[in-house]
Amino acid sequence: MPDQPVHAPYDALLLLSFGGPEGPEDVVPFLENVTRGRGIPRERLKEVGQHYFLFGGVSPINDQNRELLRALREEFAAHGMDLPVYWGNRNWAPYLTDTLRQLVADGHRRVLTLATSAYASYSGCRQYRENLADALAALQAEGLPLPRVDKLRHYFNHPGFVRPMVDATLAALGELPEAVRQGAHLAFTTHSIPTAAADTSGPAGQHGDGGAYVAQHLEVARLIAEAVREQTGVERPWRLVYQSRSGAPHIPWLEPDICEHLEAVHGEGASAVVMVPIGFVSDHMEVKYDLDTEAVAKAAELGLPVARAATVGADPRFAAAVRELVLERAATERGERPERCALGALGPSHDLCPAGCCPARALRPAAAGADSPYA
């Protein structure tokens, strides 16, 4: 009997992402998908879409996912892994349901999912799992065979995710004028979410002030700040700050906002700021607009020099980290006890999201978790 592949029992990897418009005519339909069920008027969506129209109506996330697909396929091939990689989105083509339908047509029955979100939260994990459950329900209604779908653990503290950001922070510091570099502060940015969602992020035992969402981001910020100090010999002030708030003004969201933070540190005498978008896997619209456009404009208004570190994107170390995570999960599913790689004090995350992890406001089925109806 031939040896089983190193990625057994899995026979496919699914790259699961948010999606984005690919032209001006896509912008409003895309935003309708994102906001479906919230009753937001079309005219308001046109206003929100101005961010995309500034960039020709094209979100950079799609090309960045294509580049990550290429990097993953090359990484797998270089290590003799014959594991096909598919791509599906929550809100735009290629749609998740269509991709799962194709996976089934191609004969795959055991699928491992990589979500382009590294941290625990409803919008960053549970909602992806709900989308997977919706897609599986659609396949079931069509009478198609259902694949078993699992999800890779959170990779926020994997060396292949953290170390590229350390190098990116050092490179951004190098972009600052030498006269202000020594006194530059570090602002680690991530997507703001409602404080209620943050407080209930992660397993129930981690719920509380900020939950796992804030704790995980603080840990990554600390790891990067310490590595930068070790390599530069300079102890720099740093803070976790937030961006891209989109909710109603009466609902509390995580603060401070990056622009408010720039004002504050400028008032305190900071010579410059490096913005490090640790909450984002790639340089998509919320990085390009909220940081490179809006925050840079605020810094120019203040006369504060700023630089922005690159996200991980398709860095070869991240592609290698995904390969390692696939092999780790595959070995675990085979009953083995592989080494689980993680930096810092929090340790590796769980493989299977427990019941009560990042709960939704309204109960909906979610795949790839302990409470999955599609085990």
Q: What is the pLDDT along the chain (375 residues), one digit of tens a residue?
A: 458 999 999 999 999 999 999 999 999 999 999 998 887 888 888 888 898 999 999 999 999 999 999 999 999 999 999 999 999 999 999 999 999 999 999 999 999 999 999 999 999 999 999 999 999 999 999 999 999 999 999 999 999 999 999 999 999 999 999 999 999 999 999 999 999 999 999 999 999 999 999 999 999 999 999 999 999 999 999 999 999 998 788 999 999 999 999 999 999 999 999 999 999 999 999 999 999 999 999 999 999 999 999 999 999 999 999 999 999 999 999 999 999 999 999 999 999 999 999 998 888 999 999 999 997
Cα dihedral sign, 110-162-215-131: negative
pLDDT at 1: 41
Q: What is the pTM of this model?
A: 0.97
Question: How many residues comprise the chain?
Answer: 375
Which sign, positive or negative, has the C-alpha torsion 324, 326, 328, 331? negative
- In this structure, the strands spanning 12-17 and 85-89 are parallel
Report strand pairing: 110-115 vs 148-151. parallel
Strands 85-89 and 272-276: unpaired
Q: Tell me which DSSP letter residue 3 carries.
A: P
Structure tokens belonging to residue 112? 């491992």
**Residue 82: both structure tokens together:** 């014959």
Rounded to whole angstroms, the maximal C-alpha distance in the chain is 70
Among 273, 67, 85, which residue's Cα sits nearest to residue 177?
273
| End-to-end Cα distance, the chain | 28
- ∠ CA 227-229-233 to the nearest 5 degrees? 135
Alpha-carbon distance of 344 to 163, in angstroms, equals 12
Got the DSSP string for 290-326?
Answer: IIIIIIHHHHHHHT--EEE----TT-HHHHHHHHHHH
Token pair of 84 as six digits: 């096909």
